[in-house]
């Protein structure tokens, strides 16, 4: 992620920039590799909703699931090769990107959240 660096002239401007950052939450962009027969799990520890923009940059489809805080799973379909999708997940839920194939999956994620999310890769 490219970040611009601005020269800020006063303490008030520094405080204003900090407050705006807190109110808007944080956004991270990452390229993720998901090995065959594994899944990427985001969240589960969050107290607020969060959003994810995902782009499948690999040659295999990914199955998408939301696991709610009380262990119920919602099937969100597939992220096909080259597809992009924007999703919002509930507080306490996990976003799961499952690679059920024998090939490696490549995924670009842009995550917007007001808090840091757990991230793990687990076997299926």
Give pLDDT tens digits for 19-67: 444 445 577 788 999 999 999 999 988 888 999 999 999 999 999 999 9
Residue 56 falls inside a structural domain: yes
Q: Which domain holds residue 99?
A: 26-123
pLDDT grade for 90, boundaries at 50, 70 and 90: very high
Average pLDDT over residues 116-122: 85
pLDDT grade for 121, boundaries at 50, 70 and 90: confident
The DSSP element (H or E) to which 105 belongs, if any, is: strand 105-113
Residue 12 falls inside a structural domain: no
* Structural domains of the chain, count: 1
Indicate the pTM of the whole model.
Answer: 0.77
- Any idea of the CA torsion for 118, 52, 69, 60, to the nearest 10 degrees? -90
- Closest alpha carbon to 39 in 101, 109, 110: 101
Residue 69 falls inside a structural domain: yes
């Amino acid at each position: 992620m490219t970040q611009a660096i601005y020269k800020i002239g006063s303490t008030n401007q520094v405080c204003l920039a900090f407050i705006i950052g807190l109110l808007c939450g944080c956004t991270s962009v990452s390229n993720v590799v998901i090995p065959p027969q594994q899944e990427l799990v985001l969240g589960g520890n969050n107290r607020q909703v969060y959003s994810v923009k995902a782009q499948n940059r690999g040659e295999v489809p990914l199955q998408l699931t939301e696991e709610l805080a009380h262990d119920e799973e919602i099937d969100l379909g597939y992220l096909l090769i080259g597809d992009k999708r924007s999703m919002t997940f509930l507080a306490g839920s996990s976003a799961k990107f499952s690679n059920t194939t024998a090939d490696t999956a490549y995924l670009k994620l842009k995550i917007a959240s007001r808090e840091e999310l757990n991230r793990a890769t687990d076997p299926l």
